[in-house]
Amino acid sequence: MKLLIRNLSRSTTKEELKVLFKEYGTVQSCDLVLDKITGNSKGFAFVEMPKSGEAKVAIKKLNRKNVANNIIRVKKAENKKA
């Protein structure tokens, strides 16, 4: 299941996100979205967890959690329409 994480602190790293989500299960991938020009975080990321049960627990436990002084939002990512 692909998860969308919003309202991340600009200082939050990909590694910090992986550690946060690994507490709830297997993390297949973690993509922090970066600005193409500055290389800085845009404040959101995608985390993919292969087991939907683990992903649902991660959503429940991490949505509205304070991470680096920001209240993050975690939900299932919507499929992009072509």
Question: What confidence tens digit (pLDDT) does each residue in 22-71 have?
Answer: 999 999 999 999 999 999 999 999 999 999 999 999 999 999 999 999 99
Q: Is 30 part of a structural domain of the chain?
A: yes
Band of residue 82 on the pLDDT scale cut at 50, 70, 90: low
Q: For the CA atoms of 9, 52, 24, 68, what is the dihedral angle to 10 degrees?
A: 10
Question: Whole-model pTM above 0.85?
Answer: yes
CATH of the domain at 67: 3.30.70.330
- In this predicted structure, the answer to whether residue 20 has a pLDDT above a threshold of 70 is yes
Q: Is 82 part of a structural domain of the chain?
A: no
Q: Which domain holds residue 39?
A: 2-76
CA 39 and chain centroid, separation: 18
Query: What is the pLDDT, as a whole number, of residue 30?
Result: 97
- Cα distance between residue 38 and residue 80, in whole Å: 25
